[in-house]
Structure 1
């Protein structure tokens, strides 16, 4: 499917620092996405109530709910249960990276981040979401066409049935008429035979 025909999807970026949010949004701008910002874990939880995102980019270290705690809460909600989450972290320690995957994140990006890396990682999940939405739309259209065609066939069958029932009495009438004509024919034949009988006796 051509890119111009794919549905536009949304991405959620979560970071407590406005400058990081601005840099992330600028990095994603070439992808033509709808970008929603959240400055805390609580803001992120509220954001997923209104929209289903293709992917969530979230800082690990934030005041209040950190990234791991927010992810755990997001997984408890139907709308965000399966949403891919990429962690943003300035910590490259093995323990932090292992914890990121163990918590359910699909990937991580180290700060300071490279805009090209951000786009390449996000683009994968954006395309998956676009294809999912396109398939849902195509399936809904197919279901609608099947329902329409089924209704058309049902109406055609009903019309044929009504026509058949309308001609059935005439068929019975024709049969009755033919039967009467047959009886009259037998009666006439009997009369002719009786009239001819005396002539036969006089010949003898």
Structure 2
């Protein structure tokens, strides 16, 4: 098979600077359709001319690069530091009213901060079927209501809630996590 210029694209010599800013180093490249930037900042194929009978590539016209205007940098007054939403943000107003931030630290209370001391038991009027120790959630504590514990962990990645049959078991588990620094308000 012979090197027919009509059936094979022309080759570019080594060291040729391509219109897109690349230099052919050490090996010949086949001339392919070159894309150029148009005024709308999208890629469109450049106008191609038929290759002459000689092995020299056809010159490709390039459009001038659009002027780039520097973007102003933000001053320190415009820079915002991401802040953490306060505990209880996004909770219904009646539930936010239940959140406590200080002692006395007792069971069946929910806290928007990590309690400073272990939780104490409360006297039960009616024995609850289950107690829930919430150690990682939107708020923490030991409660006897499943719905309240579900709100505490909803939307929290790696939330931690466990059900216990008695208040004493739930309090022991919560207080043990508290001493091991395993309680987190997210």
**TM-score normalised over the length of structure 2:** 0.22
Q: TM-score, normalised by structure 1?
A: 0.21
Larger radius of gyration: 1
User: Per residue, is there more strand in 1 or in 2?
Assistant: 2
Higher-RCO chain (CA-CA 8 Å, sequence separation at least 6): 1
